[in-house]
Amino acid sequence: MFSFIRHTLRLMRIGYVLARHDALFPFYEAPAPAAVRGAAKLAARIFRGRDLPDRPGVRLAAALTTLGPSFIKLGQTLSTRSDLFGAAVADDLALLQDRLSAFPGDKAFATIEAELGKPIAELYSAIDPKPVAAASIAQVHLATTLDGKDVAVKVLRPGIEAAFERDIALFRWLAALAWRLAPRGRRLRPVEVVEAFADTVRSEMDLRLEAAAATELGENFKDDPMFATPEIDWARTARRVLTLERVAGCRVDDEAKLDAAGHDRQEIMRLAAGAFFRQVFEHGFFHADMHPGNLFVRADGGLTVIDFGIMGRLDRTTRDYLADMLLGMLTRDFELVADVHFRAGYVPAHQSRAAFAQACRSIAEPILGKPLHEISLGRLLQQLFQITQTFEMETQPQLLLLQKTLLMAEGMGRRLDPTVNMWQLAQPLIQDWMRAHRGPEARIASALADIGDAAMRLPRTLSRLERMVETMDPTPKGPARRHVPRPRPSWSMLAAAAAAGGIIAIVLFAIFID
């Protein structure tokens, strides 16, 4: 009862803030009870402020900023869900910046000393008490280590974990309420969305995980001198403190400095597009917060990326499906696009493949009909996700995160040079990858590798079968007991070998008829 009252009172305040910003529009046509929709419209009419922006997404972003850090992060998560509020609102939410007022430097220093177990003087020869950046979760101070290295020190806000847990408890309560009251909206998986949001935020609040992500991404590009991550100072890193190499260079959106330094904007775009493509398709591990403030251009023209709190992962199967999907879209092979969705299980089997292919054509043709430099892969995925309701597609969180990141990367590219498509610049790399990984030879090699893995597991499987047969009790229960010959292990080995041979034959047959 106490939690119900607490959540209800908090909800009333949230409703008031949303109404003041005229940001209750998501409830107007939502799959919710009529009373909820009516209350939202009435509250907006009563409490609406003056001189508000025309764009609803901008009003919603302003309201979420007023509500604080958890809601800013929630808005950034919702920016991936164009299927919820439409592309325009999702684009506006994607521009949410979690810049907040800084907390005092002495509190940051207290956190550093508590986490690292040493006085500041034994950790850094100098550290600026005034932060250079303050966000919703942490702020950054510039410092110099005792051995003279220039570093940046990221420190979590005091009490931020408890504040997020309170808000996440409210979000869970609302999601469960929505699940019960709005059956038509269950395909949007509100409970799963909240849990994914909670997992993301918890990961961001353990700076050791961010340090590990930076290290992993850097190791993936150790053979590429033109793309790098800052070196982590592990001796001065803990759960609430992260110390890393200070990055030198120009922000990628600082056009005046880039031009003054003589950098080639198209070369920057080519490097950024190629690096991102490799992250997604080659490594399956990508930076998922690629706004201009997180990418710097070094004096040698190379790129350095920062802020690894939000990272995305794609397994090999998903990467292959995604590659085939994009290839089908770009070549207007919509039957292939439909086939990929059905094979991946994204669309239920009882739906019509022909109808789905037609729907894909309807959303892709207007985009693909534009000049090459105006084609957006992010927009293509965004439009694709908007037909989810018609075909009962469930949300794919890993692809939504990728779609948001694609849009951010393309927006950055348009700022550098609006007349050039960044993926066009990276076309040779993309073609080489597709030829090496999705061509006929690559498919055969992949299938043979799978068969090899199965063959390596076969002796262990046979051994388990033998042990299972040996431990079987062949004696029937009851008064009449008679001898039942025990199956010989050789028969189990022959049966398993025959099954394995059949699987191999089917796989090879599928390869050559594909």
Active-site residues, by number, are: 289
Supply the DSSP string of 204-263, one letter for each residue. Answer: HT-HHHHHHHHHHHHHHTTT-TTEE-PPB-GGG--SSEEEEEPP-SEETT-HHHHHHTT-
Q: Half-sphere exposure of 338 toward its Cβ, with a 13 Å CA cutoff?
A: 18
227-228 vs 303-305, strand pairing mode: parallel
The 3-state DSSP class for residue 366 equals helix
- Is there a contact between 70 and 168 (Cβ–Cβ < 8 Å)? yes
| Gap between the Cα atoms of 72 and 97, Å rounded | 8
The C-alpha angle with vertex 296 and arms to 293 and 297, in degrees rounded to 5, equals 145
Residue labelled with tokens 């869900």: 81
| Gap between the Cα atoms of 102 and 105, Å rounded | 8
Cβ count within 10 A of residue 260:
10
Residue labelled with tokens 């951010």: 408
| Gap between the Cα atoms of 309 and 73, Å rounded | 12
Count the helix, strand and coil residues of the chain and give each as a percent rounded to the nearest 5.
60, 10, 30
Please give the structure tokens belonging to residue 120.
Answer: 């500041």
Q: Strands, DSSP E only, in 336-456? A: none
| Gap between the Cα atoms of 317 and 345, Å rounded | 12
- Is there a contact between 111 and 237 (Cβ–Cβ < 8 Å)? no
**Which alpha helices (DSSP H) does 140-189 contain, by range?**
160-181
Residues in the chain: 514
Distances, alpha carbon 36 to alpha carbons 29, 78, 189, 349, in Å: 10, 21, 19, 35
Q: Half-sphere exposure of 151 toward its Cβ, with a 13 Å CA cutoff?
A: 26
Q: Half-sphere exposure of 319 toward its Cβ, with a 13 Å CA cutoff?
A: 19
Determine the longest span between alpha carbons in the chain, in angstroms. 97
| Gap between the Cα atoms of 351 and 342, Å rounded | 9
